[in-house]
Amino acid sequence: MNDRARTSQDADQVMDEAIDRALHGDTPLVIVNSPPGAGKTYLVECAAIAAAVGAGMRVICLTPGVVQAYDIAERLLAYNLPRLELVHAKHRETPARLSGRLTVSNGWGGALNNGPGVIVANAHVIAAYRNQLPSGSFDLLIVDEAYQLAANNFLPVADLAPRALMVGDPGQLPPVTSVDTSNFEAHAHPVHWALPTYLLKRFPRTPVYSLPSTRRLLPDTARVVQKAFYPDLSFASVVDPASRRLRFDVSGIHARLDPALDALASGASIVAVVLPGASPAHEETDPELAAVMAGLVERILVRQGTWVGTRRLGQGDIGCIDPNVLTGGAVSDRLRRAGLRDVRVDTVERWQGLEVPIAIVRHPLSRVGDPEPFDLQAGRWCVSLSRHQIGCIIVGRGSVDDVLREYVHPCDTAAAGGRDDVWSGFQAHCSIWAELQLRGRIFRMGNDS
Amino acid sequence: MSLKGATALVRLAQNPRCEVLGAMVMQEGPETRFFERVVGTPYDREYGERQSSKRRGTQFERNAYAGDARLLREALAPMVGLQPDDIRVRNLLDDYPGTKDDARVARLRITRRLLADSLAGRAAPHLIIQPQLLVPTKPGPRPYFFIAPDVLVWMQQFGLYVPADLKSFVVRENEVSRADLARVRLQLGAQSLALMHEYDHVSGGKTVVPATGLLIFSHPNGLRPHAPRTEDLRGAREAVRLGIEAFLRHRRRIDGLRAGAEPYTVTTDLVPHFEEACLAQCVMSEWCRSSVAGRTRDLGDSAGQLLGNIELARVTGLLLGTTMAASDAEQAIAAELQRIANEYGVRAA
Amino acid sequence: MSNMQDTLTRVLARHAGRALPIRSTSSLSADPSSAIGIATIKIVTEEQIQAIAFGSLGRAPNLIARLDPIGRDVTDLLPFARFLIEAIEHALEHEGELRIWVPHGETMAALDVLGHRYWRNQNASPEIVRMGEICRILAHEAIFAGQQVIADSAQLLRDHAITGQTPIEDGHPDAMLAWFDRAVTDPVTEARQRSRFPASGILVNTPDRRDDDRIEKLRKEAKGGLTAGRLSAVQGEIRRVLSAGVQREWDLMVAARAAFWGLGLPTTGLDTLIDLSRKRLSAALMQGHFPARRADRVAIELDELDSAQRVTEQSMLEADGAARLRAKRAGAVIAGHVLARNQPKRGRHPCSIDVETDQTVVRTRRDDKVVVVGTNVSGVVRDIAVAPSGGIRVRIEIMNGVRSTATLDAGTRIEIMEQAGAYVRTREFSQAAARGVWMFFGDTPPALAPGTWRRGSPLAIARRSRRP
């Protein structure tokens, strides 16, 4: 048995143990930490099925947002369940792909949750109907993407079941809050924290399982991402690089952009394209950089990029990730003008939970001025670099080197008693950039670009 | 107040590129004296700690250390992992009080012995009050920085000591100003680096000192210590380390220029690195600011970065149309300036 | 405002020699006639107030100079306590109407610490205890976005105008004021000179005017056995220095207030914020202040803060065209025209409109609740698609305002933004607390009896359940 198979088996074993403990153990709470692409939603599916089918339980799967609830519901349709129900808010319309395929309720209805089966919903909507749901209405409560759910949003629903299984990725963006939470950072109840983080602070002996592998990230991406963002979670890739090969049926002739694409085709899963100089200070966006990002998309399609053994890549197989709405808008604009309307361009927040064969990522430090905490946040960079199944092309300015070299950490970005995520992010930036440099994965465009 | 010890390292960490700061650290005597000698006039702004602050700081510490540090033992018991009554305390000021160098050296020796005892599993205090540590920067003037945390706390989580500082300013819930947070974290960072040096000294480099420190603030009522905040010092420690590196570079250059004269004598040959933050904390800020007078950096760091530290007169010329734009960027700036000026009814081109 | 716009406006302000407003509306509603002011001088790091100026605006303030602020005797604070209590009683009689001007945020911090010291002090008189509680309530209200009670004059100036100096220099209220004073011909130099003396609620302590150290010395002297004459002289000097210090703070506040209102910004679109602020204040004054300690209370407070933030942002976007323009560029506001109205029965449900915009950035998503700016029309986004013209087309199902003709007719230009949710989950969180949910209110997890249902590999069970 090779390493990949062994690690896969280990992952299955961890999943089995975690689910078994959650369903049948003597602890009311089990947490599973999952690196990107480890199959956590698969774990959620299996847990729900094993509970409903294998143990005759009434299960509720909760998610931070409604989109994730729709995704889980769709995946559960692939199974024979005694009952599968989706609950969403009154004003929502059922997505076409789910319509007519399962019971959907706008708001909580009395006819729901009869006997073994699964209900899928986002936390907010169930909280709104708690007066109709006494404690223990369910036998098992599963939380998917638990690190994206703030503890306060879970509080109203925490006792819906005596057993809870929480699954999530600790390296990604923490729950978003618009208010200043400094005063709560040293509080006994920092309920603005991600749910598992809050619970582990309160109950450090909670059993925590860690999935040891990623099924999305190729080995060389996994190494970079694990080292930079998951110091406490060791994992390896179980992806066979042979199954994720990129081939271009048209040779590269574009001296500026094609070398990076050729590097992807030869097996490098993260590369960078660097434009000279700095972002123009007088512009809100960087039109040149936006043009390069759009240009890379065009080149992939023009060169007939193909996922070997799977399909010719289309617009839907390429995604652009931009931390900033305005600069992302400039990329969208370019793509639209080139007739490429189906390439998804979005912020990091909206890319969470998604994957795409090729990701083109704007380097967040390609900006004028000193980096802000937003630019350096570790989770944001982690999400950006862990969406791709085949290849990721970081596009940035040469000033990134200067920023990394000259950065003076202000030491005031975390509240008293808080963890310094900005420093973690800076270190991740440094280590990843150094790795790319060492491996010759940075392709610098000349001044005539 | 002269720039020495952790205070000097904190300032260097915050502005490592400033050679004038390097000269101030090298120079003996108070900063205000440095100002007078360079500028030629007395420093006319407030500087140094007020009597009222000194009084409170002293009182806070006295309270914290009273009764064999009873309040501290209670506050730190969760970190040490023992009941307060089981925590052993050693106050080195009882042995060698004062700030003279020989007292510091004596306390340094004791501290090293206690660290060695602790590593060897021999009985050692859980709290060492007023320990003495050192960061070497020899050879050259200022060959070392004496660093004195208020307390070294043995943390059960690590099986090692970490530095802890008592800060007498009042914290209600968790509000600490960003400027204060940065400063106290850098102080702890300097202490943590110094602790690393001392552990290296006693263990031959085998000890990995966690990048953790403790901050103990004061409650609004009386002088009771708050529950300690555990501080993540990774960034602060690195910032101090870079500050020290910068100091060594500045020192080499200054030594090369001064040829034995006092460091302040070569200040005009040094390259300042004026930043907005200097205005809030450095006696030389207005003097260094003259290096950017009439330039966009005089309007702040952001202005300097965005407009490239060009002359303000040039920017005004673009606004008034009396200066030709020399690039696309300047053209865009001119257009935007004129648009904004029209909105405000300010005279433009 | 982008960094570049901020910088260029700053350049312009430097060139013009005056501060320039950066908002088109005020974030603060008009002062009620009962508006009052408070200024304080504290002992640095001690955070003890040693002088207070207070009173109605437009009149000379009452001054309290404390001879022994650290001592236990607080009878010297009684006039202030009574004044504050009277102001609060007036507020309660007028549905929470209260406006307190302070020079800067340090004043609120000093009042909060004063509150901390006395609100549960069993040795203090009822009036002093009530004063403490009021101070804590006021300090708590001050943290809410959009609140209308505390007018921090320095912060208001910074939020509404840009000067021609560095942002850090704007942190000094007196230096900032040099840019608002038309009589100042060289605000650059004037501001730098003014910054020599602090304007942050502490005494001056420059080499030529060591007021703070002097007071420290005089207090020490006053404690050692002095003759009656000498004691009187010492106390007189303490009072003089402190009174002059706090009068200066009061004068700064008055000048900053005048500068703020002198900007002439309209005070429209603030009714919701006024209402929320008054309700919060009234509730706190009647029920008392209870710092959040339990998980449910913290959760409620977070919701309240979040809700205030959202409502404030929405109010600002509705009222301030400049802010709306910036939000449009970021896709948070959609400006377009109604392409079509789908309403089988005029004035009735169902009703939807198609809106087309040429914006390239739109942050709205399907099922988002939105409002049409400046109207009572609200709805839910049902579809977002690229329009043939290259722009973006948004379909909105109208939930409220189906009778609106002007807004919903084809051709109308409208602006749409996300509807701010103002709901605070007090009931949900309180009920969870009443149930004693272990994860948030327990000390240890409950032990469960191991399950007795059939076991087997969960993954295998799942695989077997997969549809072919």
The whole-number average pLDDT for the span A136-160 is 97
Mutation test of the interface with chain A: which of C298, C316, C438, choosing the one with the most A Cβ atoms within 10 A?
C298
Rounded Cα gap, residues B157 and B307, in angstroms: 49
Q: Which of A6, A46, A9, A33 has its CA nearest to residue A210?
A: A33
Are A91 and C367 inside 8 Å of each other by CB?
yes
User: pLDDT band at residue A218, thresholds of 50, 70 and 90?
Assistant: very high
Are A416 and B231 inside 8 Å of each other by CB?
yes
B51 interaction partners in chain C (CB closer than 8 Å): 212-213, 216-217
Domains and CATH numbers, chain C: 1-291 (no CATH), 321-418 (2.40.30.170)
Burial of residue A115 (CB within 10 Å: 0-12, 13-18, 19+) is exposed
B174 interaction partners in chain A (CB closer than 8 Å): 182-187, 415-417
Contacts of B75 (CB under 8 A, 6+ apart): B216, B225, B226, B227, B228
pLDDT above 70 as % of chain A: 98
Rounded Cα gap, residues C235 and A18, in angstroms: 73
Say if A12 is an interface residue toward chain B (CB within 8 Å): no
Contact between C415 and C372 (Cβ < 8 Å): yes
C446 interaction partners in chain A (CB closer than 8 Å): 28, 162
Say if A76 is an interface residue toward chain C (CB within 8 Å): no
Contacts of C93 (CB under 8 A, 6+ apart): none
Q: Which of A79, A135, A203 sits opposite C466 (nearest CB)?
A: A79
Instruction: Show which residues on chain B lie within 8 Å of chain C, measured between beta carbons.
Output: 42-46, 50-53, 55-57, 168-170, 172-173, 175, 220-221, 276-277, 279-280, 286, 296, 298-303, 306-307, 312, 315-316, 319, 333, 336-337, 340-341, 344, 346
Pair type for strands C48-56 and C36-43: antiparallel
Q: Which of A162, A89, A180, A76 has its CA nearest to residue A126?
A: A89
Say if A186 is an interface residue toward chain B (CB within 8 Å): yes
Question: Which tops the pLDDT comparison, A7 or C64?
Answer: C64
Asked whether residue A424 carries a pLDDT value surpassing 60, the answer given is yes
User: Using one digit for the tens of pLDDT, what is the confidence trace for C221-230?
Assistant: 999 889 999 9
Q: From the CA atom positions of chain A, what is the Rg in Å?
A: 23
Say if B120 is an interface residue toward chain A (CB within 8 Å): no
pLDDT at residue number B278: 96
Say if A232 is an interface residue toward chain C (CB within 8 Å): no
Asked whether residue C210 carries a pLDDT value surpassing 90, the answer given is yes
Q: Which of A185, A412, A427 sits opposite B174 (nearest CB)?
A: A185
Rounded Cα gap, residues C437 and C356, in angstroms: 48
Asked whether residue C237 carries a pLDDT value surpassing 50, the answer given is yes
Instruction: Spell out the alpha helix ranges (H) of chain B.
Output: 5-14, 19-26, 31-39, 51-80, 92-95, 101-119, 178-203, 234-258, 278-281, 285-289, 301-307, 312-320, 328-344
Q: From A66, which residue of chain C is nearest by alpha-carbon distance?
A: C367
For chain B, the structural domain boundaries read 5-44+244-275, 51-237, 293-344
Q: Which of C361, C380, C461 sits opposite A329 (nearest CB)?
A: C361
User: Using one digit for the tens of pLDDT, what is the confidence trace for B87-138?
Assistant: 999 999 998 888 888 999 999 999 999 999 999 999 999 999 999 999 988 7
Q: What is the ipTM of this complex?
A: 0.93
Are B306 and A412 inside 8 Å of each other by CB?
no
Q: Structure tokens of C208?
A: 């030529």
B234 interaction partners in chain A (CB closer than 8 Å): 420, 423-424, 427
User: Using one digit for the tens of pLDDT, what is the confidence trace for A174-190?
Assistant: 998 889 998 898 889 99
Mutation test of the interface with chain C: which of A15, A24, A195, choosing the one with the most C Cβ atoms within 10 A?
A24
A189 interaction partners in chain B (CB closer than 8 Å): none
Asked whether residue C441 carries a pLDDT value surpassing 70, the answer given is yes
Average the pLDDT over each of A438-447, B48-57, B324-333 and give the range with the smallest value.
B48-57
C363 interaction partners in chain A (CB closer than 8 Å): 325
| Stated length of chain B | 349
A284 interaction partners in chain C (CB closer than 8 Å): 2, 4, 329
Rounded Cα gap, residues A204 and C445, in angstroms: 11
Q: Which of B43, B51, B341 sits opposite C12 (nearest CB)?
A: B341
Which A residues, 134 through 173, put their C-beta within 8 Å of a C-beta on chain B? none
Contact between A150 and A176 (Cβ < 8 Å): no
User: Using one digit for the tens of pLDDT, what is the confidence trace for C349-403?
Assistant: 999 999 999 987 888 888 899 999 989 899 999 999 888 887 889 999 999 998 8
User: Using one digit for the tens of pLDDT, what is the confidence trace for C87-142?
Assistant: 999 999 998 899 999 999 999 999 999 999 999 999 999 999 999 999 999 999 99
pTM of the model: 0.93
Asked whether residue C294 carries a pLDDT value surpassing 90, the answer given is yes
Residue keyed to tokens 């960003």: B178
Asked whether residue C326 carries a pLDDT value surpassing 80, the answer given is yes
Say if A206 is an interface residue toward chain B (CB within 8 Å): no
Q: Which of C44, C34, C134, C43 has its CA nearest to residue C80?
A: C134
> If residue A331 lies in a helix (H) or strand (E), which one and from where to where?
helix A325-337
Neighbours of chain C (3+ CB pairs under 8 A): A, B
Contact between A383 and A172 (Cβ < 8 Å): yes
Instruction: Spell out the alpha helix ranges (H) of A50-111.
Output: 66-76
Which C residues, 256 through 295, put their C-beta within 8 Å of a C-beta on chain B? 291
Q: How far C94 CA lies from chain B's nearest CA (Å)?
A: 31
Rounded Cα gap, residues B215 and C134, in angstroms: 30
Q: Which of A412, A417, A426 sits opposite B230 (nearest CB)?
A: A417
Rounded Cα gap, residues C87 and C256, in angstroms: 22
Residue keyed to tokens 């007719």: C409
User: Using one digit for the tens of pLDDT, what is the confidence trace for B17-43?
Assistant: 999 999 999 998 899 999 999 999 999
A367 interaction partners in chain C (CB closer than 8 Å): none
Q: Reduce the DSSP state of residue A317 to 3 states and report it.
A: helix
Are C448 and A56 inside 8 Å of each other by CB?
no
Q: Which of C353, C312, C351 has its CA nearest to residue C334?
A: C353
Q: Reduce the DSSP state of residue C293 to 3 states and report it.
A: coil
User: Using one digit for the tens of pLDDT, what is the confidence trace for B205-236?
Assistant: 889 999 999 999 988 877 788 889 999 999 99
pLDDT at residue number B349: 66
Q: How many contacts, defined by CB atoms under 8 Å, are there between A and C?
A: 185
Question: Which tops the pLDDT comparison, B21 or C45?
Answer: B21
DSSP C445: P
The whole-number average pLDDT for the span B52-64 is 83
Q: Do you find a cis peptide bond into B139, omega within 30 degrees of 0?
A: yes
DSSP A216: S
pLDDT at residue number C322: 81
Asked whether residue C37 carries a pLDDT value surpassing 80, the answer given is yes
Which A residues, 388 through 427, put their C-beta within 8 Å of a C-beta on chain B? 408-412, 414-420, 422-424, 426-427
Residue keyed to tokens 């004693």: C436
Average the pLDDT over each of A53-57, C43-47, C367-371, C378-382 and give the range with the smallest value.
C43-47
Domains and CATH numbers, chain A: 3-214 (3.40.50.300), 219-444 (3.40.50.300)
Pair type for strands C369-372 and A442-444: unpaired
Asked whether residue C71 carries a pLDDT value surpassing 80, the answer given is yes
pLDDT at residue number C339: 93
